[in-house]
Amino acid sequence: MTRIARLIGKRRGDHSRLGFALQVVTVRHLGMFLADPLDVPVELVDYLAEQLDIEDPSCVKQYTEREKTKLEHAWEIQQECGLSSFAAVESELSAWIADQAWVTGDGPKAILEGAIAWLRDRRALLPGIATLERLVAEGRQAAVGEREVAPLPAGVPQRRQARRGGRGNRRAGATHRRRAGRAADGGAGRSAGWRRCGRSCRC
């Protein structure tokens, strides 16, 4: 039995066990906790309920009746999985974004994908996509000012590949953008992705 499975087993009540498991799957799949832990496809709820031998999956509706429960569980999962909060790395990420924008001259999409890979490499929770887009915009704006004051030295390539992992990081970033977008807008294909995640995150 894994440590996460033991933590799930300690919950009191089927609704608490199922809600806890949903938060585990969410953070593994998206890299973040949802504001509403129940904003997931019903297929995922049914699948996890089956894995946990819970006869009535609809009991999970009770999970959000107490606001503090989801927050306490999220904190516990974060500690158990060794995840850093976004706030703990935000200033470092902002500096990295500004540096990338100044050195590489990359556009917002490439820098955004690099930022997502940067966070995942450091096992940090991801913020909402709007927050990352804001940081990228601010970093690129700062880079414009820096270039006006201190242009790049001669011989430094404008588009130096400075991101660790190259194309792999770009693929990882693109994947997160799709996942985060689907979590926010309920786009087509979301259910299939969650079902795959449920199968790969057995409790």
Q: What angle do CA 8, 67, 86 make, to 5 degrees?
A: 75
Alpha-carbon gap, residue 140 to 107, rounded angstroms: 8
Bridge partners, residue 84, by sequence: 124
Task: Summarize pLDDT for 60-77 with one digit per residue, the tens.
Answer: 999 999 989 999 999 999
pLDDT of 162 strictly over 50: no
Alpha-carbon gap, residue 102 to 104, rounded angstroms: 6
| Confidence (pLDDT) at 186 | 43
Alpha-carbon gap, residue 133 to 103, rounded angstroms: 19
| Confidence (pLDDT) at 90 | 96
| Confidence (pLDDT) at 160 | 44
| Confidence (pLDDT) at 168 | 44
Going from N- to C-terminal start, the domains of the chain cover 3-83+188-200, 86-164
| Confidence (pLDDT) at 142 | 83
Mean pLDDT of 107-112: 93
Burial 53-69 (b: 16+ CB within 10 A, else e): ebeebebbeebeeeeeb
Look up tokens 């693929």; give the residue.
Answer: 171
Q: Look up residue 32 and give its amino acid.
A: M
Alpha-carbon gap, residue 129 to 119, rounded angstroms: 13
For the chain, give the percent of residues with pLDDT over 70.
70
| Confidence (pLDDT) at 196 | 54
Alpha-carbon gap, residue 128 to 192, rounded angstroms: 22
Task: Summarize pLDDT for 23-68 with one digit per residue, the tens.
Answer: 999 999 899 999 999 999 999 999 999 999 999 999 999 999 998 9
Alpha-carbon gap, residue 123 to 125, rounded angstroms: 7
| Confidence (pLDDT) at 153 | 53
Report residue 132: phi and psi, to 5°: -65, -40
CB 153 within 8 A of CB 107: no
pLDDT of 155 strictly over 90: no
Lowest mean pLDDT among 105-114, 147-156, 182-191: 182-191
pLDDT of 81 strictly over 80: yes
Mean pLDDT of 82-107: 92
Average pLDDT, the chain: 79
Which of the four pLDDT bands, split at 50, 70 and 90, describes residue 198?
low
Alpha-carbon gap, residue 193 to 187, rounded angstroms: 11
Q: Which residue has the higher pLDDT, 194 or 63?
A: 63
Token pair for residue 106?
């990359």
Q: What is the DSSP string of 103-169?
A: HH---HHHHHHHHHHHHHHTTB----HHHHHHHHHHHHHHHHHHHHHSPPPTT--TT---STTTHHH
